[in-house]
Chains A and B, each alone.
Chain A
Amino acid sequence: MKRVLISDEPISTEAALSGLSDLGGGAVSSFTGISRDDGGVTAIELEHYPRMTESSLMQLIDEAFARWALLGAAIVHRIGRVAVGEPVVVVGAASRHRADALEATAFLIDRLKTDAPFWKKEHYADGTSVWVDAKSSDDDRSSLWS
């Protein structure tokens, strides 16, 4: 099972991961990224590159399937305006034994951060907004998987 979904509606973690526990394996692992109140941020806004987004996320899942013994994987990513406290991304993986699902989940979120065409803008209570800069720590984590 491979699932990629770009959503402009609030993400339900349960729905994003649905089916992963019915694949006959003994392990489901997941990561949820949540919009965070960084110094007065009230909401974030996510822009993406339609067409490229879906294919780049499916490519990451295909690469994860090639590297680990997976039964399923899912990536659900929010776009548009996301209030603080709401999920931005849910990544999940299912496998027979836990190591494959755990490592694949880390791989998927680390590589999504550097490879998938999303851009994040932070909105503040005073009405100002600023594009978030890419972090070198994200590049460092992503390069661990290459």
Chain B
Amino acid sequence: MRLVYFAAVREAIGVASETCDLPAHVRNIHDAIDWLAGQSSGHALAFQDKARLRFALDQAMVPLDAALGDAHELAIFPPVTGG
């Protein structure tokens, strides 16, 4: 799955995107965040407070408990601040 990061999440992890083979037990975004947090200290820092993260699957906003299904792209970012 392609992972894309924005703003403070991108800066903490150090890359704007990466491709990961998520393990079979990872079924929803919650699982994905828990697994990704173990990948590096940057990931752990970026994902330490799930309440301050927002998500999009294939460019549509979804909640933390959304199933990954066969989505191609998971975006993880802080609450938006445009306008």
Contacts and interface: CB of A to CB of B under 8 A. Distances in A.
B82 interface: yes
Contacts of A118: 80-83
Nearest to A54: B59
Q: How large is the interface on B (under 10, 10 to 19, 20 to 34, 35 or more residues)?
A: 10 to 19
B7 A109 contact: no
Interface string B69-82: 00000010111111
Provide the main secondary structure of the chain A interface.
mixed
A118 B79 CA distance: 9
Nearest to A33: B83
B7 A121 contact: yes
Contacts of B60: 52
Interface of A: 33, 46-49, 51-52, 55-56, 77, 88-89, 109, 112-121, 131-134
28 contacts: A33-B83, A48-B82, A49-B4, A52-B56, A52-B60, A77-B83, A88-B82, A89-B83, A109-B83, A112-B82, A113-B81, A113-B82, A115-B80, A116-B80, A116-B82, A117-B75, A118-B81, A118-B82, A119-B7, A119-B77, A119-B80, A119-B81, A119-B82, A121-B7, A131-B8, A132-B81, A133-B79, A134-B80
